[in-house]
Chains A and B, each alone.
Chain A
């Protein structure tokens, strides 16, 4: 059922430009990228219990990595450049993870990752070749050469469709990792690290692997983001941006795979509805998030499931009577 729903959502996303205006299509593109960003964060949180407050650093590394590579070597196949951006994120995560993950977990790791992302943001703000605080502008949408045909992504809604398919592929990868044997090993580490170690699971290595995969996915999402906005700014590496996937995940429900998607949708709607009112946006998002954490820790999905179960639970005795 989940597969059918996901497929239906994909078809609808692909058909969106036929019925909607440019503004809505643009927002939808951002939403798909946000969803993937959220999935990648929740892969760490849900599967291994790792809380990163610096996930945006990998998004930014991917985004800027793609932009720099595409500018330096315009002849490279674009798909290769997207993969390279992901690899860049993975390598950065590997270096950070090898040193940090063995030493610090929990709140320590949250703050540690926050400090590292701050370093990335400051370096971006300072380097003239990355556009400093003005941003990295003029990122072109590439031309795909598929052998049998070439597709100019700059034309019409081509880049949007490419974006949708890429995001679907990334989601599929995260889904596959979550439900594979590797994913179950991650889960064992999250539930009881000591027992997992006793069963012969290399706990530190599982955490590292999960961290690296999540970073790679976030980096590719960042790479897709650049040509879509055609502008990158240092805010992408800052902690306020790192808070986004956390917001999506908790808002939607961290216990479900699809939580970040529901949360990202809710957040986008809220943000769009309050965009002209200074302060109201923050109050709404902050207030709702607070209510979610304090009263509905299961998020929107958890609330719906709880509601349905509650209704069924009440209905059953009546049916039996």
Chain B
């Protein structure tokens, strides 16, 4: 029973890190630009497909370092797409009402999904994790796939890196200033437009790298674009809209609650994520980290 519980919590933490890795870029974009980006899912899918194609191209062997390098390349390419998207779309959304900007990023999601279908087709594909990550660890009675442990570590590392960047580096403080008051920041000599472009590039880079890291976890199909968006939105909004710390905590709370409830309560698996989310939103409409910065 206890070992069961540990296993269930482990599974919850694993999905929490998957959601957090996906939602990190979303949080950055929302925290600074106040744009809730539906299309993040589309660019995540682009990253995943790019990683899949690059892996195919480089041959059957997939050492760990190559898997990581490919994820970074996917991140860089998607980050570059971010520059284009920012110029053509996101920059114009700043004067637009929140609802319209949500709909515009949904349109962008459709567009990207269509392009993915055109390039990679509609067949479902899959990819194995690198050999180093395909084993299983056993601690007591709990079986932990090495790949899941890797994702846990990656999620944690990403969280620590973002926290450090945002709260302890000069760049992070500049980003905070742009997020809090763009006008004041510009008066004080911060190049706000340029900063915003770089934040979009950063957010898109995170989407691409998430795609590269999470391919072995998914069946690769064009519907991948919509898979995590809703859960990531949930973590983002429960966490307090644009706080990395809040999103991290909310992802853990929602996913572990869902994992526990799906195992021990009767009902539809997966639905508890949304029930917890709705309950938390009603209890704390401002999110876990009320008024928090980034």
A residues neighboring B (CB under 8 Å): 45, 49, 51, 53, 99-100, 103-104, 106-108, 110-112, 114-116, 118-119, 122-123, 125-126, 239-240, 243, 246, 250, 278-287, 289-290, 293-294, 297
Q: Is the interface of B mostly helix, strand, loop or mixed?
A: helix
Asked if B117 and A279 make an inter-chain contact with CB atoms under 8 angstroms apart, the answer reads yes
Chain A residues closer than 8 Å to B116, beta-carbon distance: 279
Asked if B111 and A287 make an inter-chain contact with CB atoms under 8 angstroms apart, the answer reads yes
Q: Cα distance A250–B106 when bound, in Å?
A: 12
- In the complex, the chain A residue whose C-beta lies closest to that of B106 is A243
Is the C-beta of B36 less than 8 angstroms from some C-beta in chain A? yes
Q: Cα distance A172–B76 when bound, in Å?
A: 53
Chain A residues closer than 8 Å to B277, beta-carbon distance: 115
Q: A108-B281, A123-B268, A246-B103 are in contact. Are A115 and B274 (CB under 8 A)?
A: yes
Q: Cα distance A234–B99 when bound, in Å?
A: 26
B181 to chain A, nearest CB (A): 20
Chain B: number of interface residues, binned into ranges? 35 or more
Partner of A240, one of B122, B226, B234: B226
B28 to chain A, nearest CB (A): 17
Asked if B230 and A114 make an inter-chain contact with CB atoms under 8 angstroms apart, the answer reads yes
Asked if A106 and B110 make an inter-chain contact with CB atoms under 8 angstroms apart, the answer reads no
User: Residues 226-269 of chain B: 1 if any A CB is under 8 Å from the residue's CB, otherwise 0?
Assistant: 10001001100100000000000000000000000000000011
Chain A residues closer than 8 Å to B111, beta-carbon distance: 282-283, 286-287, 290
Asked if A286 and B107 make an inter-chain contact with CB atoms under 8 angstroms apart, the answer reads yes
Chain A residues closer than 8 Å to B278, beta-carbon distance: 100, 112, 115-116, 119
Asked if B113 and A51 make an inter-chain contact with CB atoms under 8 angstroms apart, the answer reads no
Partner of B107, one of A111, A125, A239, A289: A289
- In the complex, the chain B residue whose C-beta lies closest to that of A119 is B274
Q: A118-B274, A280-B118 are in contact. Are A100 and B110 (CB under 8 A)?
A: no
Which chain B residues numbered 262 to 294 have a C-beta less than 8 Å away from chain A? 268-271, 274-275, 277-278, 281-282, 285
Chain B residues closer than 8 Å to A100, beta-carbon distance: 278, 282
User: What are 8 A-B contacts with C-beta separation under 8 Å?
Assistant: A104-B281, A122-B270, A239-B230, A282-B111, A282-B114, A284-B114, A286-B107, A290-B104
User: Residues 39-82 of chain B: 1 if any A CB is under 8 Å from the residue's CB, otherwise 0?
Assistant: 00000000000000000000000000000000000000000000
B266 to chain A, nearest CB (A): 11
Chain A residues closer than 8 Å to B270, beta-carbon distance: 122
Partner of B285, one of A103, A110, A118, A282: A103
Q: A111-B234, A278-B117, A282-B113 are in contact. Are A290 and B89 (CB under 8 A)?
A: yes
Best-buried of A99, A104, A250, A282 by chain B (most CB within 10 Å): A282
A103 to chain B, nearest CB (A): 5
Is the C-beta of B224 less than 8 angstroms from some C-beta in chain A? no
B115 to chain A, nearest CB (A): 6
Asked if B237 and A293 make an inter-chain contact with CB atoms under 8 angstroms apart, the answer reads no
Asked if B98 and A107 make an inter-chain contact with CB atoms under 8 angstroms apart, the answer reads yes
- In the complex, the chain A residue whose C-beta lies closest to that of B287 is A108
Asked if A280 and B230 make an inter-chain contact with CB atoms under 8 angstroms apart, the answer reads no
Asked if B110 and A294 make an inter-chain contact with CB atoms under 8 angstroms apart, the answer reads no
Q: A112-B278, A115-B277, A290-B89 are in contact. Are A250 and B103 (CB under 8 A)?
A: yes
Asked if A107 and B102 make an inter-chain contact with CB atoms under 8 angstroms apart, the answer reads yes
Asked if B103 and A289 make an inter-chain contact with CB atoms under 8 angstroms apart, the answer reads yes
Q: Cα distance A44–B212 when bound, in Å?
A: 40
Chain A residues closer than 8 Å to B36, beta-carbon distance: 107, 111
Q: Cα distance A125–B271 when bound, in Å?
A: 11
Q: Cα distance A52–B121 when bound, in Å?
A: 32
- In the complex, the chain B residue whose C-beta lies closest to that of A292 is B107
B218 to chain A, nearest CB (A): 18
Asked if B114 and A286 make an inter-chain contact with CB atoms under 8 angstroms apart, the answer reads yes
Chain A residues closer than 8 Å to B109, beta-carbon distance: 286
Asked if A51 and B99 make an inter-chain contact with CB atoms under 8 angstroms apart, the answer reads yes
Q: A287-B111, A289-B107, A290-B107 are in contact. Are A278 and B102 (CB under 8 A)?
A: no
Partner of A123, one of B108, B122, B271, B285: B271
Chain A residues closer than 8 Å to B113, beta-carbon distance: 279, 282, 286
Q: A111-B233, A239-B230 are in contact. Are A293 and B96 (CB under 8 A)?
A: yes
Chain A residues closer than 8 Å to B102, beta-carbon distance: 51, 53, 107, 110
- In the complex, the chain B residue whose C-beta lies closest to that of A115 is B274
Asked if A286 and B110 make an inter-chain contact with CB atoms under 8 angstroms apart, the answer reads yes
Q: Cα distance A112–B274 when bound, in Å?
A: 9
Chain A residues closer than 8 Å to B89, beta-carbon distance: 290, 294
Chain B residues closer than 8 Å to A279, beta-carbon distance: 113-118, 222
For the complex of A and B, 9 pairs with smallest distance between CB atoms: A282-B114, A286-B110, A279-B117, A286-B111, A283-B114, A289-B107, A279-B118, A51-B99, A126-B268
Asked if B114 and A280 make an inter-chain contact with CB atoms under 8 angstroms apart, the answer reads yes
Q: Cα distance A67–B188 when bound, in Å?
A: 63
B116 to chain A, nearest CB (A): 7
Chain B residues closer than 8 Å to A281, beta-carbon distance: 114
Asked if A118 and B118 make an inter-chain contact with CB atoms under 8 angstroms apart, the answer reads no
Chain A residues closer than 8 Å to B93, beta-carbon distance: 294
Partner of B115, one of A104, A114, A283: A283
Given contacts A240-B226, A286-B109, A289-B103, 5 further A-B contacts (CB under 8 A): A104-B281, A110-B102, A279-B222, A289-B106, A289-B107
A13 to chain B, nearest CB (A): 29
Asked if A278 and B121 make an inter-chain contact with CB atoms under 8 angstroms apart, the answer reads yes
